[in-house]
Structure 1
């Protein structure tokens, strides 16, 4: 095991920050950049935290790792657990579209279907991990501090690539974990004097329902859960739709402290901008990830603003 932990396996991260010339011209933006997290091994930003959780589980002496997911995070945990030789247990809502199920099974994961929504599945996994002495990598677990730390690396890579603080950084939000981690990365650079200002953080999510966006629009200082009965889940919005955001307060604070914004886009917009990115830039993002580009038409941007859209995943 020690040899494997010290192997030359390429770690997640170091994803490309691409200047989108063609897409920028289409949207009348001269300095549009795409931070393409789809370049990670399993196709999403989740790889950054999954490997860290698996290694942490091994160091702490666990023989198995569990996570509640709507798909991508489970696939990522399954991949790294299999890579490093421990068992993974993936909890998923039984009603969701499980297009990564075969990938998880090929990584020797045990899939635990739960008859409930995503948030309830995460709660089920919290209990399941405790009862079975498993490492819990789910949002809201005792180990979730790792998520913020690892996502901070996205900010470091953005600054290293463009050598400038962006005016706007746009991030899809479900739980708000990725956005709050990126904010933390820029904040650390600000505190140590590497940068002299913060970018405006913009959170974008689905019209199907997200409490971070809802709370920002209502002027709340803390995130307020939505009514689960009013949530509209679709095959497009599943990575973003939620009635409770586990890191919502952190994300809302990041948006407010940087004078940013939070907004909704529709399923049709996510699909349309996913197709536009493929046509103009040759990237093939998940529609939910393309929300970070769809948001651009709802913001009042100057043509010369430096804008980074974080594309959190690709189609597999």
Structure 2
């Protein structure tokens, strides 16, 4: 494998065992737990000046803090997305600044590209010929795109409610797509059955591959560097599986421990009221969620009733002195429209949970009047244009 100098393998977050990355490819061989990439941080000599001297052109500019070399990455120059000042939203929230990290500007229109560039790179380096996953939509599209880039076959299991754009583009990228009646769990069951019948398929499913959260941690590196190395007071993240939240919290600790920053931001998970297992667990002081029995939200991207990494999510929220908030579908869609009409920025319908969540948190007095708040727009608004337009039509607009 073509790995970076400091990358020293994978550690199980449950049992603590360490494994060689060439031998352990997915879950822990000992206990089935989630594997997390580890590094010899003492071997990393990286300064702010080093980074500032590099072109801001891709997430792989942070290769010293990633498992694979930039040269070996299956990449389409993902990352390096804009961090946009939103003065009107700051006034409305009563805070010092609101910044929107606009992940809709990635190659397939969402932050899923950051995870899939790392996961598909791992698959290619492990000699895979076929990759597979179930997805609510965007991760499946990204996997098909990066698999095509790497010359691999992809097998994508989507629920019937996945958006038309996702379905169309999986086909366009040459992916083998299976549409499953029902929701994300039903697509997951079909994926598991197919994996059992195809031993040669390599999974790029969230928190099954160790690398998707590792790719997404680069969002936090960029946020801090784009903000002149000032750590924001809070990051509000639309949360389903929580991959990006877990990754960003790890990145914040890495920057602090390497001496590049002095603190970590408070992380906030924003969910829909119709499917809020993380919010429920956080409010009840639990270390792990309980499965949400009857998920009911139009925000399919965060409709994850059984997030397998909830202990990591909840740990990140508490360790960072953050929190969790759930808002209604109407409030989420209203927030997407407000951001578009007040700032001109296009948030995906699901992604706007970050904006509606931030409004609620501000009203609860969670933020200070001088705070800098970052909202994660995890996907382009045109992914959900039909949902947003229908919402407006329902209001007679």
- TM-score normalised by length of structure 1: 0.91
Change beyond 3 A, Cα 1:97–1:43 = closer
Map of 2:275 onto structure 1: 209
Larger Rg: 2
Matched, 1:135 2:202: yes
- C-alpha displacement of 1:266: 1.3
Structure 2: tracts of 5 or more residues without a match:
3-70, 383-397
- C-alpha displacement of 1:96: 4.3
- C-alpha displacement of 1:39: 1.0
Map of 1:90 onto structure 2: 156
Map of 1:113 onto structure 2: 179
Q: Quote the Cα distance in structure 1 between the aligned partners of 2:355 and 2:119.
A: 29
Question: Any idea what the Cα deviations from partners look like across 1:40-94, whole Å, max 9, x if unmatched?
Answer: 0111110001122222212211111111011111111111112222211110123
Q: 1:154-165 residue pairs with structure 2 within 5 A? A: 154-162=219-227, 163-165=229-231
Q: Quote the Cα distance in structure 2 between the aligned partners of 1:303 and 1:249.
A: 31
Map of 2:108 onto structure 1: 42
What number of residue pairs does the alignment pair up?
307
Decide whether the 8 Å contact of 2:74 with 2:118 is kept in 1.
Answer: no
Greater Cα offset, 26-35 or 304-313: 26-35
Question: Any idea what SS the aligned residue of 2:221 has?
Answer: helix
Greater Cα offset, 208-217 or 5-14: 5-14
- TM-score normalised by length of structure 2: 0.73
Matched, 1:30 2:96: yes
Map of 2:295 onto structure 1: 231
Over the residues paired in the alignment, what is the CA RMSD in angstroms?
2.0
Q: 1:1-316 residue pairs with structure 2 within 5 A? A: 10-132=76-198, 133-141=200-208, 143=209, 145-162=210-227, 163-227=229-293, 230-234=294-298, 237-299=299-361, 300=365, 301-316=367-382
Question: Any idea what the Cα deviations from partners look like across 1:134-164, whole Å, max 9, x if unmatched?
Answer: 11111242x1x20221111111111101121
Q: Quote the Cα distance in structure 2 between the aligned partners of 1:105 and 1:96.
A: 14
Q: Quote the Cα distance in structure 2 between the aligned partners of 1:209 and 1:173.
A: 10
Q: Quote the Cα distance in structure 2 between the aligned partners of 1:283 and 1:298.
A: 20
- C-alpha displacement of 1:231: 1.4
Decide whether the 8 Å contact of 1:126 with 1:138 is kept in 2.
Answer: no
Decide whether the 8 Å contact of 2:237 with 2:375 is kept in 1.
Answer: yes
Decide whether the 8 Å contact of 2:274 with 2:297 is kept in 1.
Answer: yes
Decide whether the 8 Å contact of 2:297 with 2:329 is kept in 1.
Answer: no
Question: Any idea what the Cα deviations from partners look like across 1:194-222, whole Å, max 9, x if unmatched?
Answer: 22222111000111112111111211122
Question: Any idea what SS the aligned residue of 1:100 has?
Answer: helix
Decide whether the 8 Å contact of 2:272 with 2:297 is kept in 1.
Answer: no
Question: Any idea what the Cα deviations from partners look like across 1:279-316, whole Å, max 9, x if unmatched?
Answer: 22221111111111111221122221011111111123
Question: Any idea what SS the aligned residue of 1:61 has?
Answer: coil
Question: Any idea what SS the aligned residue of 2:248 has?
Answer: helix
Q: Quote the Cα distance in structure 1 between the aligned partners of 2:121 and 2:241.
A: 23
Structure 1: tracts of 5 or more residues without a match:
none
- C-alpha displacement of 1:7: 9.1
Decide whether the 8 Å contact of 2:75 with 2:146 is kept in 1.
Answer: no
